Amino acid sequence: MDDIRRKTVKAVLSEGAALAGTKVDVKGWVRTRRGNKNVQFVALNDGSTINNLQIVFDLSKFSDSELKPITTGSSIHVQGELVASQGAGQSVEVQAEELEVYGTAPGDYPLQKKGHTLEFLREKAHLRPRTNTFGAILRIRHALAFAIHKFFNDKGFYYFHTPLITASDCEGAGAQFQVTTLPLADLPKDEEGRVDYSQDFFGKLASLTVSGQLEGELGATALGLIYTFGPTFRAENSNTPRHLSEFWMIEPEMAFYEIADNMDLAEEFIKYCISYALEHCADDIRFLNDHFDKELIDRLKFVIDNDFVRLPYTEGVKILEESGKKFEFPVYWGVDLASEHERFLVEEHFKKPVILTDYPKEIKAFYMKLNDDGKTVRAMDVLFPKIGEIIGGSQREENLEKLQKRVDELGLTGMDWYMDTRRYGTVPHSGFGLGFERLVLFVTGMQNIRDVIPFPRYPNNCEF
């Protein structure tokens, strides 16, 4: 092989015309090989783009036995001249001059043909990143993560790292995974027969975090504007297409923001992320649009171009009650809305994203600011077509007495450090949490959240 610098498939295709007539060096995995006695065509992909580079092997230069190992899934290194392509579907192709085979992929390679079902690919989750579909999803996922950091950095927010192992329970939902080094078959007990956590690794009960918010509030009441972006763990037994046991959450927290500022930020943020993906992942989104969801691009543009509806919970419930629609779960004031209710408001009634506010305090977390009516709190859930809840947030209760009352009512303990934010220099503040995979789900148009994270965790599944 000549000493030429390797180029990615993406670089070769985008530089195309400028490189024509020069010798290029490319490496990648073979997607397909076809052809006849005189010439063989290989579609080469290296993950840099959804598009393949066509490599042409002239059989007067390469023998059958040299080409034999080049089957779907094998990995190769090729040098050759880049030329304008005669065939349809690509503007340039490589006339192979030299070939090195890195690794063969025998006939039992599971990803032989195109068009495997998503269910089949979930069984082969360790290999599915090599498919067109998952390549597209994972590149979009990357772009969205990058857009999120860019959005907040450009606005002067600080990336604040909250702990994954925690001794507090933010959402009070009680669905936490415990972290312990105690011998499970022989647990040390105290005099009352309860597990003696003082002998555990941290000297107390510890869990994986369900949210970085409470610690995020410590950051916001010092740095002003912060966001977190990290893994989050929930042990609820939710076998749905929208729940994972391990997912990523973005949680901005802003000092001096009230609920309206919070809604403005959430709407701007989510529109920014979608615009970023449309601009930077055009090929991948087009592929998903054409293969899975013909309305995807229209839906993404629609969300960017339209104001979200802002509606108090009480009015939302009224609309649901008066809709005459038969829901599986009953609707009444005070109920925690089910996904079917949220989707009715968004998809059938308003046909737009909806930010629902001012929920009954009983169905929301202890930290939300109580309204003057004494019944509702300044919560805001952003509800999206196809997804339901994509963001949950609120203005926080900054009044020490009111917050203490709520903490006592709910019997929460070990919150002294949190109460110090209200005890010393308390300020109005707000924040929200975006479920990263729900955003990726929306932007890719996929149906199942298990298909938008490389290694999904859900009840009875912890592969790799």
Cβ distance to ligand 4AD smaller for residue 31 or 243: 243
| Residue whose CB is nearest to Mg ion in the complex, by number | 392
Site for Mg ion in 83-142 (CB under 5 A): none
Of 272, 290, 27, give the one whose Cα is nearest residue 151: 272
Q: Look-up: residue for tokens 């912060």? A: 226
Q: Residue 306 phi/psi, 5° resolution?
A: -120, 145
Q: 28 or 316, CB closer to ligand 4AD?
A: 316
Nearer to Mg ion, 316 or 392 (CB): 392
CB 373 → Mg ion: shortest distance, Å? 21
* Rounded (5°) CA angle 191-195-198: 90
Site for Mg ion in 390-409 (CB under 5 A): 392
Which 3-state string (H, E, C) describes 103-129? ECCCCCCCCCCCCCCHHHHHHCCCCHH
When the beta carbons of 249 and 337 are compared against ligand 4AD, the nearer one is 249
Q: How far apart are CA 310 and CA 157, in angstroms?
A: 25
Chain residues that interact with ligand 4AD, rule: CB under 6 A: 170-171, 211, 213, 234, 243-244, 247, 249, 251, 389-394, 431-433, 435, 437-438
- How big is the site for Mg ion, counted in residues (CB under 5 A)? 1
Q: Does 388 bind Mg ion (CB under 5 A)?
A: no
Q: How far is the CB of 440 from ligand 4AD (least distance, A)?
A: 10
Q: Whose Cβ is closer to Mg ion: residue 353's or residue 392's?
A: 392
Residue of 294, 288, 327 whose CA lies nearest to 440: 288
**Which parts of 38-84 are beta strand (E)?**
39-45, 53-58, 75-84
Q: Which does 31 bind (CB under 5 to 8 A by kind): ligand 4AD, Mg ion, none?
A: none
How near is the Cβ of 237 to ligand 4AD at its closest, in Å?
11
Minimum Å distance from CB 374 to ligand 4AD? Answer: 22
Give CB contacts under 8 A, 24+ apart, made by 170-173: 170/209, 170/210, 170/211, 170/212, 170/213, 170/214, 170/365, 171/210, 171/211, 171/365, 172/365, 172/366, 172/410, 172/412, 173/210, 173/234, 173/236
User: Closest CB to Mg ion among 50 and 170?
Assistant: 170
With a CB cutoff of 8 Å and minimum separation 6, the contacts of 419 are: 400, 403, 404, 407
Q: CB of 389: closest distance to Mg ion in angstroms?
A: 6
Partner in contact with 432, chosen from Mg ion, ligand 4AD, none, beta carbon below 5 to 8 Å by kind:
ligand 4AD
244 binds, among Mg ion, ligand 4AD, none (CB under 5 to 8 A by kind): ligand 4AD
Q: Which residues bind Mg ion (CB under 5 A)?
A: 392
